Structure 1
Amino acid sequence: MEKRATIKDVAEAAGVGVATVSRVLSGGSASPSTRERVLAVAAQLDYRPSALGRNLRQRRTGGIGLLVPDLTDTFYAQLSEGVLACARAAGEPVVVGSTGGDPEQEAELVGMLLEQSVDRLIAVPTGGADTWAPALKAGMTVVFADRLPAEAAPDEPDAFTDLLLLDGLAAPPPAPRPLDAPAVLADDRAGVRTAVRYLRGLGHRRIAFLGGPGHERRAGAFREAVGAPVDEELVVFATGSRDSAYAAASGLFQSRPDLTAVVAGGNVLGEAAVLAARELDLRVPRDVSLVMYDDVPWAELCSPPLTVIAQPGRDMGYRAAELVLRGGPRRARSVTLPTELIVRGSCGPRRT
């Protein structure tokens, strides 16, 4: 039996990424030449989402998909454990995938889940809204956790619907805006604001924020908390890797020796800040105070133990699984969970 063409086959033959194929087939943004090439290759390879169409037509459930950027990250491991606990109680299987913080890999995994008839998905998104349009337009129940994808581009003609019609299948209902999917988030604004107020109470004025992918909301909360004018040199972003986090932390300490405190946007960034400070002979908290977003086991084992903004990772995963299992035609409401500032030994008064 001849093997059915996949979305990856179309991407390779057209000389574009999987995310581009997804955007074209879902009616997202693409240049006219790219759109024409992708559709021509899809027709040539006879790529049609028949498996997806059968799944929608028969209303068949294929378990729950779970996509996170990094399974070795302690917070995402906690979130995954919450999802698995809820799914286990409901008797549902879970397919777990790691996107590596790569939008192209994320789009490929979403496409694979669709082809495998997985019709419910929990994701910590890496890509923008265009990455998620195919899943939402296909009728997949999606719940975002920890963060939201970037805003969608303006809608364009829907080529995905045309392919369904060519395949003799009913077109899916009009898609919601990708950001209309429910999400389970921590109260980043309150958490960061509390941390900045605590540091200001200790006399710190030159406070930096060290962020990574998906930390735009936390960076916004930081800017709001420190107030205008914001010294943008003290707002630094790294990519998702540990090497990048270390380079960003080290560069920040060396370029701004006047800073006296740092808020790290996640546990990988907090780890990088601790290592960079140690390499540069900066004493915590005597030379620099440090607050880290995420309470992970090693935070208490540091010398001194780290002050953290704790968010309930396991609860976040459990609630996301509850929402995705609820599904149905009535859109579930998003959930915001509280954060807590846990004061330990990594912060001290600013020294003159």
Structure 2
Amino acid sequence: MEKRATIKDVAEAAGVGVATVSRVLSGGSASPQTRERVLAVAAQLDYRPSALGRNLRQRRTGGIGLLVPDLTDTFFAQFAEGVLACARSAGEPVVLGSTAGDPEQEAELIGMLLEQSVDRLIAVPSGEEDTWAPAIRAGMTVVFADRLPARPSPEEEDPAAAAVGDLMLLDGVAAPLPAHGRAPELPAAPSVLADDRAGIRTAVRYLRGLGHRRIAFLGGPGHDRRVSAFREAVGSPVDEELVVFGTGSRDSAYAAASGLFQSRPDLSAVVAGGNVLGEAAVLAARELDLRVPRDVSLVMYDDVPWAELCSPPLTVIAQPGRDMGYRAAELVLRSGGRRPRSVVLPTELIVRGSCGPHR
């Protein structure tokens, strides 16, 4: 029996990424030339995304898909443990995938789960809304955690895109584009988030109370809410040189922290947006002979075991990683037929020894 074409086969034959194929076949943005090439290749390979939706409607295999950016990140490991604990109590297996924070890899894993008829999925998303359109429109129950998919910026959308062809309309899996060329809004998906905005604001207020005025923020992928809360907390005008981003890897985080310390020796405090960034800030400060907290005060988002083992122990914004995973699994197991609802869990500032008064 001839093997059925996959979304990866279409992407390779069309010379585009998996995420681009997902966007085209689900009614998302793409140039007319790309759309025509992808549809032609899909037809030639007899690839039918509608079969995914038909599989989900006719049968479910059980189990839960779980996608996270990085299993070596302590927070995501705690989150996954919470999902596994809830799924275990419900007798549901979990299919675990790591996206490496790459939207293309994320789209490929989504397609794989759809083809395997996994109809429930928990994800810490890395891609934009278009990446998730095939799963949501195919009827998969999706719960987002820690963050929400980014919305494409207006300049990335294609106002001149043509209506989709018959291939995209089979079984109603992908809705046609409206006349203005933009993809229709996706149905709302429930989410489990930490109140990171409140956590960041509390941390900045705490540092302000210690006399710090030049406070920097180290951010990474998915930290939109956190950096927005930081800008609000420090007030206008924001010194944008003190808002620095890494790409998600440890090397990138270290480079961002080291560059920040060297370019702005006048800063007196840093808020790290995640535990990888906090680790990078500790290492960079040590390499540059900056004393914590005498020379620089540090606050890290995420309470991880090693934070208490630092010298001095790190002040942190704690979020309930394991509880977030458990609640996400509860939502994905119970949300069938109900209106989507979201959960926001509290954060807590835990004061330790890494912050001191500004000298």
Query: C-alpha separation between the residues in 2 aligned to 1:74 and 1:179?
Result: 31
Q: CA offset at residue 195 of structure 1?
A: 0.3
Pair 1:134 & 2:134 matched: yes
TM-score, structure 2 length as denominator? 0.93
Partner deviation per Cα, 1:161-217 (whole Å, 9 max, x = no partner):
74452xxxx324969834721110000111001100110110000000000000011
Partner amino acid, structure 1, of 2:40: A
In the alignment, structure 1 segments of 5+ residues that lack a partner are none
What is the identity percentage for the equivalent residue pairs of Structure 1 and Structure 2? 86
In the alignment, structure 2 segments of 5+ residues that lack a partner are 176-182
Partner deviation per Cα, 1:239-282 (whole Å, 9 max, x = no partner):
01000000000000000000000000000000000000000000
2:88: which partner in 1?
88
User: Helix, strand or coil for the counterpart of 2:237?
Assistant: coil
For residues 164-313 of structure 1, what are the structure 2 equivalents within 5 Å?
Answer: 165=170, 170-172=171-173, 177-178=185-186, 180-313=188-321
Maintained 8 Å contact 1:144/1:181: yes
1:122: which partner in 2?
122
User: Helix, strand or coil for the counterpart of 2:270?
Assistant: strand
Pair 1:39 & 2:47 matched: no
Query: C-alpha separation between the residues in 2 aligned to 1:106 and 1:199?
Result: 37
Q: Choose which of 323, 328, 345 in structure 2 pairs with 1:337.
A: 345
TM-score, structure 1 length as denominator? 0.95
Q: CA offset at residue 139 of structure 1?
A: 1.0
Q: 1:327 to 1:160 in 2, by over 3 A?
A: farther
Q: 1:160 to 1:234 in 2, by over 3 A?
A: farther
Partner deviation per Cα, 1:86-133 (whole Å, 9 max, x = no partner):
111111110000000111000100111101101111000111111111
Maintained 8 Å contact 1:11/1:17: yes
Query: C-alpha separation between the residues in 1 aligned to 2:235 and 2:217?
Result: 13
Query: C-alpha separation between the residues in 1 aligned to 2:5 and 2:190?
Result: 32
Maintained 8 Å contact 2:201/2:233: yes
Q: 1:154 to 1:2 in 2, by over 3 A?
A: same
Maintained 8 Å contact 1:26/1:158: no
Pairs aligned (count): 347
Q: 1:306 to 1:224 in 2, by over 3 A?
A: same
Maintained 8 Å contact 2:43/2:167: no
User: Helix, strand or coil for the counterpart of 1:304?
Assistant: coil
Partner amino acid, structure 1, of 2:324: M
Moved over 6 A (4+): 154-158, 173-176
CA RMSD of aligned residues (A): 1.8
Query: C-alpha separation between the residues in 1 aligned to 2:133 and 2:222?
Result: 18
User: Helix, strand or coil for the counterpart of 1:180?
Assistant: coil
Maintained 8 Å contact 1:245/1:268: yes
Maintained 8 Å contact 2:50/2:168: no
